[in-house]
């Protein structure tokens, strides 16, 4: 059975998409603000507006850094830098705005040149890898972004006003993030149920194959011995017949002989002579005590470029090592799928599983070695696991060009 991992359980694809969307949104608001501010330079004769525009540029770079980094600490630092740079911009612009203006004509702190860059900084947390981190970064962006803008306006004597659109945007982004994570959790549960059913079906099929093979093998052995005995003359059995019967009785007690059919039990590396990558990986795993079952179109792996093949070998080795160290089982399956122009490999086990959102020891190798190795080839990785239901790692790498 083919187990397809459809849900973005670990959130990496979703985070990358949100980071891209946030980057474009911030770029549009900041670029528009910078353009409008630049138009005021010849009108006001204030060259210090250039310093404010530089602050906007730093804000944009820092927001993109917060969106793209996987480190929560770095994301916090980038957000703080973005807020400080936005505060510098606000200090310059509010100074220009109140210069020469009367109390009746001076704008308030919620006018457009201050609001637009505030929208840009609010997206700093939408691509975080957890709900808590996303909400923390979003709240921090609100405090150091609009918060410093209001402080700059107050210092320059500008009339303070509650920026309702900015606050509404913050609440909308927070609700969107919460809804996204709730939806992702429900998708993970649905995927878990589907994989539970698929694994149960695979176990039933494997048990049925074993039972059918055992019945055939035992029946053939017993019938052959009965036919041999029926052809013998009455009396004492000769030594050769007794030895043959003893050997068959011993074989009947050895279940490994029943399991030595195609793709079951016997060393998987014996049937992989034409796939050097899998031979080395399987042989090393078997020497560590694992039993490996290999299925699918294995020879398609030979079409992977040598540099990518090394990365794929490293990733499969790490997956099998993770099975040996953390799954509580000593058997695993490697399934190979051909989907031109890509090659997909899934390593799965029916072990104890783990929480994919946790940062335990069992996730380090998968998240660092496996994902980094495959992403370096231009491929992708999807990881499914849940406590008590095993683990499946689905890796896709580019195949040979047509």
In this predicted structure, what is the pLDDT of residue 133?
86
In this predicted structure, what is the pLDDT of residue 382?
87
Alpha-carbon distances, residue 388 vs 30, 192, 196, 320, 352 (angstroms): 48, 11, 10, 18, 5
In this predicted structure, what is the pLDDT of residue 121?
92
Residue 48 φ/ψ, nearest 5 degrees = -70, -10
Q: What are 36-75's pLDDT values in tens digits?
A: 989 888 888 888 889 989 999 999 999 999 999 888 899 9
Please name the residues in contact with 295: beta carbons below 8 A apart, sequence gap of 6 or more.
Answer: 263, 333, 334, 335, 336
Q: What is the rounded CA–CA span in Å between residue 244 and residue 236?
A: 15
In this predicted structure, what is the pLDDT of residue 224?
65
In this predicted structure, what is the pLDDT of residue 219?
62
In this predicted structure, what is the pLDDT of residue 231?
67
In this predicted structure, what is the pLDDT of residue 16?
83
Mean per-residue pLDDT over the chain, rounded: 80
Q: Which residues of the chain have pLDDT under 50?
A: 1-7, 261-267, 269-270
Please name the residues in contact with 278: beta carbons below 8 A apart, sequence gap of 6 or more.
Answer: 269, 272, 294, 298, 301, 334, 336
In this predicted structure, what is the pLDDT of residue 366?
74
In this predicted structure, what is the pLDDT of residue 64?
93
In this predicted structure, what is the pLDDT of residue 3?
42
In this predicted structure, what is the pLDDT of residue 4?
42
Residue 129 class from Cβ within 10 Å (0-12 exposed, 13-18 middle, 19+ buried)? Answer: middle
């Amino acid at each position: 059975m083919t187990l397809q991992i459809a849900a973005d359980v670990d959130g990496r694809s979703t985070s990358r998409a949100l980071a891209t969307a946030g980057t474009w949104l911030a770029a549009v608001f900041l670029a528009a603000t910078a353009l409008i501010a630049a138009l005021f330079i010849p009108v006001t004769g204030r060259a210090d507006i250039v310093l404010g525009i530089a602050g906007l540029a730093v804000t944009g770079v820092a927001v993109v850094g917060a969106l793209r980094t996987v480190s929560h600490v770095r994301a916090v630092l980038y957000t703080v830098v973005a807020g400080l740079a936005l505060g510098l911009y606000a200090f310059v612009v509010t100074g220009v705005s109140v210069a020469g203006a009367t109390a009746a004509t001076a704008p308030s702190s919620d006018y457009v040149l201050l609001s637009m860059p505030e929208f840009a900084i609010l997206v700093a947390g939408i691509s975080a890898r957890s709900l808590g981190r996303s909400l923390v970064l979003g709240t921090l962006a609100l405090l150091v972004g609009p918060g410093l803008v209001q402080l700059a306006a107050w210092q320059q004597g500008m009339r303070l006003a509650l920026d309702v659109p900015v606050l509404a945007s913050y609440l909308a982004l927070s609700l969107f993030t919460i809804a996204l994570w709730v939806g992702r959790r429900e998708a993970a549960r649905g995927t878990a149920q589907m994989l539970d059913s698929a694994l149960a079906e695979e176990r039933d099929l494997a048990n049925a194959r074993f039972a059918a093979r055992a019945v055939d093998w035992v029946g053939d052995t017993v019938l052959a011995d009965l036919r041999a005995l029926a052809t013998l003359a009455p009396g004492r059995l000769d030594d050769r017949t007794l030895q043959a019967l003893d050997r068959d009785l011993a074989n009947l007690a050895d279940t490994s002989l029943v399991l030595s059919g195609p793709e079951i039990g016997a060393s998987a590396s014996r049937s992989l002579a034409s796939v050097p990558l899998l031979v080395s990986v399987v042989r090393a795993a078997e020497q560590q005590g694992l039993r490996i079952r290999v299925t699918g179109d294995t020879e398609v792996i030979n079409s992977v470029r040598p540099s990518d093949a090394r990365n794929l070998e490293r990733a499969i080795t790490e997956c099998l090592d993770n099975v040996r160290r953390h799954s509580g089982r000593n058997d695993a399956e490697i399934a190979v799928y051909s989907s031109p122009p890509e090659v997909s490999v899934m390593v799965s086990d029916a072990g104890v599983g783990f929480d994919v959102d946790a940062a335990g020891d069992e996730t380090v190798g998968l998240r660092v070695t496996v994902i980094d190795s495959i992403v370096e080839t231009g491929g992708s990785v999807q990881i499914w696991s849940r406590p008590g239901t095993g683990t499946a790692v689905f890796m896709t790498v580019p195949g040979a060009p047509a």
